[in-house]
Amino acid sequence: MIHSPYIRKPASVQRVMGLVLLALVPGITAYALKVSAGILVNLALASLTAVAAEALMLALRKRPIAIAVTDLSAIVTAWLVALCFPPIVPWWLTMLAVLVAIIVAKHLYGGLGQNPFNPAMVAYCSMIVAYPALMSQWPAAGSLSFDTQLGLILGGARDLDGMTGATALDALRTGLRSGASSVEAVLQGSAFGFFGGRGWEWVSLGYLGGGLLLLATRIITWHMPAAFIAALSLISGTFWLFDPTRFASPLFHLASGGAMLAAFFIVTDPVSGATTPRGKLIFAAGIALIAWLIRSFGAYPEGIAFGVLLMNICVPLIDKKTQPRVFGHRRRDEGGWR
Amino acid sequence: MIGRLFKFHGGIKPDAHKHESASVAIERAPLPSRLVVPLRQSTRASARCIVEVGQKVLKGQRIGEPEGMLGTAVHAPTSGTVIDFGRYTMAHASGLETRCVVIEPDGEERWVEHAAFDAERAGRDASLAWLRDCGLVGLGGATFPSHVKLGKGSGVDTLILNGAECEPWITCDDRLMRERADGILAGARILFRLIGARELVIGIEDNKPEAIAAMRAAAQRVDDPVRIQPVPSLYPAGGEKQLIRVLTGIEIPYGKLSADYAVQCFNVGTAYAVYRAIAHGEPVLSRIVTLTGNVARPGNWEVLIGTPIDELLPLAQPKADTNRYLMGGPMMGFALPRLDVPIVKGSNCIIASSPTLLPPPPPEQPCIRCGECARACPAELQPFELYWHSRARNFGKAQEYKLFDCIECGCCAYVCPSHIPLVDYFRFAKSEIWARERDNTAADQARERFEFRNYRQEREKEEKAAKLAAKAAETRAKLATDTTAVKAEASTATAEDPKKALIAAALARAQAQKASTEVRNTEDLSAETKADIAEIEARRKALNLTAAPPPALAPKAGDPRPDEAPAVEAEGSPQS
Ligand code: SF4
Ligand code: SF4
C-alpha cells in the first residue's frame, strides 16, 4: 500500500545528474576550443567505460540495472575524471581510472549514495600516485593538432619533449625551485595567459558559468563554492601580500588547475560531502586550505584531490558537530546532544 | 500588534487544486439510510453508550455520556431509531474498529428541545462543561476536546484561529469562512472570552482572497479588535506549530503545549461549532466535507456525523477510472481501505484518485544525500539522517536526531529526487519505539508489583521470625525461673537467645532476598504478569501496531502508520 504524501515534486536523480552534465558543457566547450580537442575523445571513452562498469557491477550485485544506469550518475563521475586528467593520457589510463572510480570507490562501498570518498578524486589520486609522469603531461594550450592528440591517446609514441608544456602550477613550482627570481619572472613564460595557464582562463569561466546554473537550479547551495573560493582567496591572498615574490596571487590560484571545476562540481559532490549548512562551509574551506598547502609546499602540483579525500574522512565528524537547531529547540545541544 | 509575520524553515508549494471544489456553495447532504455514530471520536475523546437498541432518539439527543477527563458527549445526528450498538470499522488507514451506535433516520429531523446557553451568566466552568456536553472537539482533524484545550482561563495572551487550510484540494474551511464568517467570528469571540486572551488573530493563507474578504467584512461588524491576517501560501503553514510561528514568532517544541507559550489555536470550523453550541444550543451533529479529485461535481457538503462514505460519494459523481479514495489531503491523508465507514468529526475531505491524477511514486532509489529534504523540512530536521538510522533500525540514533519532532508533514518525501517514502520510515520507527516503550512500561509495572509482593512477604517473614524469637525467649525465661538446678545455664541461654533470634531473622531475610532475585527472571513470570503481557500483545495486534516496516525493510509491508499516537502528537496536524 502507498502512504502519504501522494503527490511528488517532479524531481529525480536523473534530472539532478542531467543538470550537472549540462552545467559542464560550457567548460567543456571552452576546453575543446581553447586547450585541447582531445578531451572530447576522453569524455566519450570515460562515459562508455563508466556505463559498462556500472552495469557490470549492478549485475554482479543483483540490482536493477536499467534504472541505475539511466540515473546518469556514472556519467557524471566519468566526466569529472576525464576533465581533471590531462587530455592526452593514453586510453587505458582513462579507462583504468574510471574503473577505479566506479568499481572500487563507488560499488565496493555499496553503490550510489554509499561511498564515503569522492569517486573521481579517488581515481585522480590513485593515478597520480601510480603514473606520475603520464599524469603530468599537459599539452600547452592549442599546441597539438587533433590528430597528434588522438595518436597520443590511442597509444602513439610518446615523445613529448617539446610538445607538452608544464601546467601553470607546474611551471610555477619548477620555476621557483630552479631559482627563478620571483613569481613574476615565472609568469612571463609562455605557459601563462591573462591569469592562470594560457587558454585555461576560458575553461575556468565556462565552469563558473555552469556553476551559476547549478546554483540557479538549486542543485547546489552557495555554501561550498563560496567557502572554497573565499578560503582559497583569503589564504593565498594573505601570503601573497606578505611575500609576492614567493607566493602566487589569489587570482592565479583561482584560475589555475581545476579550481573552478572543483568549486562547483567536485567539492559539491553531495554523497561524500558534508550536508549541514555550517558543515558545508567547514568542509569546503578545509579543502581549499589543504589544496593551497599542497600547491605551495607539497610534492604534487595539484592538491585539490587530496584535499577532497582528506576532508571526506572528516565528514561524519563535521556533520555530527554542526547539526542545525531543530524547530522549537533553543540550541542544537539541548537534550541528548553532545 | 500589527502584522509582522515570521517565517518557518522549509515548506513546499504543491499545486493547490483548490478551485475545483471552492467555487460552489456548501450543500446539505441528503439523509443517508443509516448513521454509524462512533462513541469514540478520537483516541482521546470517548463516551459511554446511554441508549438501547430499538430506542427512538431525537435529533441532538445525547446518546453517549462523556467518559474521563478527555471525554465529550455524543449525540444523535438526526431523529430515528437505534438499530444496533456494536463494533464498526472506522475511516482509518488500518481499519480500526470502535463501538458505534447505529441509527436509522425516520426522515423527520425532529429536534430534541434545545436552547441558547448564556455563557456570560453561567460562568466559565459551566460553559466548558456545556461545550463538553455538546461534543465539541477540534474539527481541523485532530479532534482534541475543546473544553480541555480552553484550559484554566488564564495565561493565554493570543488566541489564533486557524483558517490557513494549507493542504492541497481541501476547501471546507475556505467555504465556511466565505459563507459563515459571522458565525465563525462569534464563536471566536466566545473562545476568546473563555480563554481570557488579549489578542485574537485569524490566519488565512493568501490563496483564499474571498475568505479573507468575508472575514474582514465580518470583523468590521464587531467591536472587538480582530486581526484577519493573510499568511503566505506555503505548505504546511496550516500546521498548528507553523501557523503559531508565522503569526507570533513563537516556536512550540515537541511535547510541549502551546498554552505553555501563551498561545492557543483553534480551527475556524471549531469556532463555528462553538458558536452553534452556545448561541443555539446545538451539539456537533454535522461538519463540512470536501469531495473532490477525480469527480464530475466537486464541492463541499454539510454532512451528518456517521454518514457512511459510500452513501456520500455519489453526490460528487466520481469518474469511472477512480481507483481509490483518500481521506484528508494528499500530503497527510491516507487511502481508505474500505468505503462503508462513517464520516467522523475530524473528516475534512475525501479525494477521489485515479492513476493519472495521483500516480504512484516512481521506484525508490538510493539517497544521494542531496539535502533537499532538509531544506524542505519545517521542523528543521535532517530527514536523510533520520532515514539512515530508521532504516538501519538504529532507533536510539534516530531519536537523537529528534525523530519525534517530525510532524509527518511529508515535505521531505515530496521533494526527494530519489523518491524515498521518507515519512513511511519515520512512522515505522516511531511505532517501533512506542511498541518497545509500551513493552517496557508493562514490564516495569509488572516488576514493581512483583517487588512489592516480595517486600511484603519478606516483611511478614521477618515479623514472624521476631515473634517466634520473642516467644522462645519467654519460654526459656519461664523454664529458668522454674528450674533452680539449671539456673546458671539458663542465665547464659537467656543472654544468647535474642542473638539467636536476630540471626534467624537475618537468615530469613537473606532467604527471601535470594528468592526474589531468583524469580525476577523473565522465564518465571507470575500468571498475572503473563496475562498482562498477552493482553498488551493482543491490543497491539488489534491496532495493527505490530511494527510493519516500509517496503525497503520488509517486502510484504503492512501498515506502518502509528495508530495510537501520544496525545501531543496529532495536535499539530496541518490538515486543518
Ligand atoms: S532528498 Fe532524498 S536523496 Fe536527497 S538527501 Fe533527502 S532523502 Fe536523500
Ligand atoms: S515529514 Fe518530518 S522530516 Fe519530513 S519534512 Fe515533515 S517534519 Fe520534516
Q: What is the pLDDT of residues B316-339, one digit of tens each?
A: 999 999 999 999 999 999 999 899
Check CB contact under 8 Å for A328 and B419. no
Q: Is A3 a member of any domain?
A: no
Q: Residue A251: give the domain boundaries.
A: 167-338
Average pLDDT in chain B:
83
Indicate the helix (H) or strand (E) that contains B324: strand B324-327
Of A206-220, A233-247, A307-321, the range with the lowest mean pLDDT is A233-247
- Ligand 2 centroid–CA B3 distance in Å is 28
Give the pLDDT mean for A196-220.
Answer: 87
**B100: pLDDT strictly greater than 90:** yes
C-alpha cell at A222: 552557495
C-alpha–C-alpha distance, residues A91 and A74, integer Å:
18
Which residue out of A17, A20, A326, A332 would a mutagenesis test of the B interface target, given it has the greatest number of B Cβ atoms within 10 Å? A326
**B208: pLDDT strictly greater than 90:** yes
Which residue lies with its CA nearest to atom 1 of ligand 1? B416
**A192: pLDDT strictly greater than 80:** no
Ligand 2, CB within 6 Å, residue ranges: B 376-379, 381, 383, 406-412, 422-423, 426
Residue B265 assigned ligand-binding role: no
Cα nearest neighbour of B403 on chain A: A326
C-alpha–C-alpha distance, residues A179 and A245, integer Å:
12
Query: Would you say B98 and B91 are in contact if contact means Cβ atoms under 8 Å apart?
Result: no
Check CB contact under 8 Å for A3 and B330. no
Query: Structurally, how many domains does chain A consist of?
Result: 2
Whole-number pLDDT of residue B567: 38
Percent share of chain B, pLDDT over 70: 80
Cβ within 8 Å of residue B287, ≥6 positions away:
B139, B172, B269, B273, B302, B303, B305, B343, B345, B347, B348
Chain A residues within 8 angstroms (CB to CB) of chain B: 1-9, 11-13, 15-16, 64, 67-68, 71, 73, 111-114, 219, 221, 270-271, 273, 275-276, 319, 323-329, 336-337
Q: Is A2 a member of any domain?
A: no
Do both A158 and A227 map to the same domain?
Answer: no
Q: Is A235 a member of any domain?
A: yes
For the CA of B10, the closest atom of ligand 2 is 5
Give the pLDDT mean for A243-270.
Answer: 85
Average pLDDT in chain A:
83
Give the pLDDT mean for A191-210.
Answer: 72
For the CA of A275, the closest atom of ligand 1 is 5
pTM to 2 decimal places:
0.80
Residue numbers in A near B417 (CB within 8 A): 11-13, 15-16
Do both A206 and A318 map to the same domain?
Answer: yes
C-alpha–C-alpha distance, residues A127 and A133, integer Å:
10
Check CB contact under 8 Å for B365 and A9. no
- Ligand 2 centroid–CA B389 distance in Å is 15
Whole-number pLDDT of residue B103: 95
Which stretch, A242-246, A247-251, B187-191, has highest mean pLDDT? B187-191
Do both A159 and A174 map to the same domain?
Answer: no
Q: Is A81 a member of any domain?
A: yes
Cβ within 8 Å of residue B208, ≥6 positions away:
B18, B22, B163, B165, B174, B177
Q: Is A293 a member of any domain?
A: yes
Name the band, by pLDDT with cuts 50, 70 and 90, for residue B350: very high
Give the pLDDT mean for A150-163.
Answer: 63
Check CB contact under 8 Å for A328 and B557. no
**A195: pLDDT strictly greater than 50:** no
Whole-number pLDDT of residue B493: 47
Residue numbers in B near A2 (CB within 8 A): 335, 360-361, 421
Query: Where is the domain boundary, A145, A165, A185?
Result: A165
Q: What is the pLDDT of residues B458-474, one digit of tens each?
A: 777 777 888 888 887 77
Q: What is the pLDDT of residues B9-41, one digit of tens each?
A: 999 999 999 998 999 999 999 999 999 999 987
Q: Is A314 a member of any domain?
A: yes
Q: Is A55 a member of any domain?
A: yes
Q: Which residue in B304, B340, B346 sits closest to B141, CA to CA?
A: B346
Give the pLDDT mean for B34-62.
Answer: 87
Region of B131 on the Ramachandran plot (φ > 0 left; ψ -120 to 50 alpha; else beta): alpha
For the CA of B409, the closest atom of ligand 2 is 6
- Ligand 2 centroid–CA B557 distance in Å is 21
B168 → closest Cβ in A7, A12, A271? A7
Give the pLDDT mean for A122-139.
Answer: 85
Which residue lies with its CA nearest to atom 7 of ligand 1? B384
Whole-number pLDDT of residue B142: 79
Q: Is A70 a member of any domain?
A: yes
Do both A173 and A160 map to the same domain?
Answer: no
SS3 A194: coil
Do both A195 and A305 map to the same domain?
Answer: yes
Query: Would you say B326 and B334 are in contact if contact means Cβ atoms under 8 Å apart?
Result: yes
The CA distances from residue A298 to A132, A170, A332, in Å, are 14, 12, 39
C-alpha–C-alpha distance, residues B516 and B453, integer Å:
9
Whole-number pLDDT of residue B45: 65
A323 → closest Cβ in B252, B361, B382? B382
Check CB contact under 8 Å for A111 and B366. yes
Do both A144 and A34 map to the same domain?
Answer: yes
Do both A159 and A175 map to the same domain?
Answer: no
Query: Where is the domain boundary, A103, A136, A165?
Result: A165
Cβ within 8 Å of residue A178, ≥6 positions away:
none
Q: What sign does the CA torsion over A93, A94, A99, A100 have? A: positive
Indicate the helix (H) or strand (E) that contains B156: none
Do both A147 and A258 map to the same domain?
Answer: no
Which residue lies with its CA nearest to atom 8 of ligand 2? B377
Which stretch, A190-194, A294-298, B450-454, has highest mean pLDDT? A294-298
Which residue lies with its CA nearest to atom 6 of ligand 1? B373
Residue numbers in B near A73 (CB within 8 A): 368
Check CB contact under 8 Å for B241 and A327. yes
**B394: pLDDT strictly greater than 80:** yes
Question: Pick the residue with more confidence: B1 or A124?
Answer: A124
Query: Where is the domain boundary, A144, A165, A186?
Result: A165
Whole-number pLDDT of residue B481: 64
- Going by the DSSP 8-state scheme, the letter that residue B46 receives in this structure is E
| CA–CA min distance A84, chain B (Å) | 23
For the CA of B386, the closest atom of ligand 2 is 3
Do both A283 and A245 map to the same domain?
Answer: yes
Do both A153 and A192 map to the same domain?
Answer: no
C-alpha–C-alpha distance, residues A205 and A30, integer Å:
9
Do both A133 and A181 map to the same domain?
Answer: no
Name the band, by pLDDT with cuts 50, 70 and 90, for residue B535: low
CB count within 10 Å of CB A149 equals 23
Do both A281 and A189 map to the same domain?
Answer: yes
Which stretch, A127-141, A197-211, B92-106, B201-215, has highest mean pLDDT? B201-215
Of A129-143, A147-161, A173-187, the range with the lowest mean pLDDT is A173-187
**B83: pLDDT strictly greater than 60:** yes
Residue numbers in A near B328 (CB within 8 A): 4
Domains of chain B: 19-284 (3.40.50.11540), 361-480 (1.10.1060)
